[in-house]
C-alpha cells in the first residue's frame, strides 16, 4: 500500500508521471482539478460552493478543498493507496491531510518532488502554449506561475523534508527517462 504526493513546478510533467506511477504501482491517481470538476459536474453541495469561487476567478477556499479531498479519500478505490497531485498546497492543507489520514490510521509514505530548471521550464511551457494555442501563456505569465509555485509550496516541502519522506527526481528529459528515475527513487519506499 502506497500513499503518496507528487509535487513540482508547472511544466515538470506531474500529470504524465502521475499516470505512469499509478499504472506501475496499481494506485489511484487523484488530482484536485479532477475532484473539483467532478463535484461541479455532479452539482454536489461542495461543487456548487466551489463553482461560486471558480466562476469569480478566485481560489477555492481551503475549507471547501479540504472537504472534497476528505470525501475523495473515503472512496473504495483508494483503500490500497493513492497518489495525490495538487494537494496539499499550503501548510494548513498539510495539517488537514495528516488529520484525514490519521483518522484512518494512516500516514503519507512519500512525497515525490519533480525538480526542473526554471529556464528549461519556461521554454517547455512556451512551446506547449504554442502547440495548444494558449495565447495567455506568455513568458511573464509562466514566470509568475513558477514564482507562485515556489512561494506556495516551500512550506509544504519543508514540512515533509522534516519527516524525511521527500524523494527528489529531475523532471527534465525524455518521459521514459524521467519515469525510470522516478521508479528508481521509489523502489525502496513503495
- Encode pLDDT of 29-47 as tens digits: 999 888 988 999 999 999 9
Q: Residue positions in the annotated binding site for AMP?
A: 32, 37, 58-60, 86-89, 93, 134, 145
Count of beta carbons in the 10 Å neighbourhood of residue 72: 21
How far, CA to CA in Å, does 173 sit from each of 44, 70, 181?
40, 35, 10
Cα 33 to Cα 39: distance, rounded to the nearest angstrom: 10
Residues making up the annotated binding site are 11-16, 32, 37, 58-60, 86-89, 93, 128, 134, 145, 173
Q: Is the pLDDT of residue 83 over 90?
A: yes
In CATH, what class is 2-28+81-186? alpha beta
Q: What pLDDT, on the 0 to 100 scale, is given for residue 56?
A: 81
Angle, alpha carbons 98-10-160 (nearest 5°): 25
Does residue 59 surpass a pLDDT of 90?
no
Active-site residue list: 14, 89, 128, 134, 145
In whole numbers, what is the pLDDT of the chain averaged over residues? Answer: 91
pLDDT-derived band at 53 (thresholds 50, 70, 90) equals confident
Residue 43 confidence (pLDDT): 95
The annotation places the binding site for ATP at 11-16, 128, 173
The pTM score is 0.88
Q: Mean of the pLDDT values across residues 138-157?
A: 89
Q: So what's the pLDDT on residue 190?
A: 64
Phi, psi of 174 (to 5 degrees): -65, 150
Cβ contacts of 156 within 8 Å, gap of 6 or more: 7, 88, 89, 90, 91, 93, 94
Amino acid at each position: 500500500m502506497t500513499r503518496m504526493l507528487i509535487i513540482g513546478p508547472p511544466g515538470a510533467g506531474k500529470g504524465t508521471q502521475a499516470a505512469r506511477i499509478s499504472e506501475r504501482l496499481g494506485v489511484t491517481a487523484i488530482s484536485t482539478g479532477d475532484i473539483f470538476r467532478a463535484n461541479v459536474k455532479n452539482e454536489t453541495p461542495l461543487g456548487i460552493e466551489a463553482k461560486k469561487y471558480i466562476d469569480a476567478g478566485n481560489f477555492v477556499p481551503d475549507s471547501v478543498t479540504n472537504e472534497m479531498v476528505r470525501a475523495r479519500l473515503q472512496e473504495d478505490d483508494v483503500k490500497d493507496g493513492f497518489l495525490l497531485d495538487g494537494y496539499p498546497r499550503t501548510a494548513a492543507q498539510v495539517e488537514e491531510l495528516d488529520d484525514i489520514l490519521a483518522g484512518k490510521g494512516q500516514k503519507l509514505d512519500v512525497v515525490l518532488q519533480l525538480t526542473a530548471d526554471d529556464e528549461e521550464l519556461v521554454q517547455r511551457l512556451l512551446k506547449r502554449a504554442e502547440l495548444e494555442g494558449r495565447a495567455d501563456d506568455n513568458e511573464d505569465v509562466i514566470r509568475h506561475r513558477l514564482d507562485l509555485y515556489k512561494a506556495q509550496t516551500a512550506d509544504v516541502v519543508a514540512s515533509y523534508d522534516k519527516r524525511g519522506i521527500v524523494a527528489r527526481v529531475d523532471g527534465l528529459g525524455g518521459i521514459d527517462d524521467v519515469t525510470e528515475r522516478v521508479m528508481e527513487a521509489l523502489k525502496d519506499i513503495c
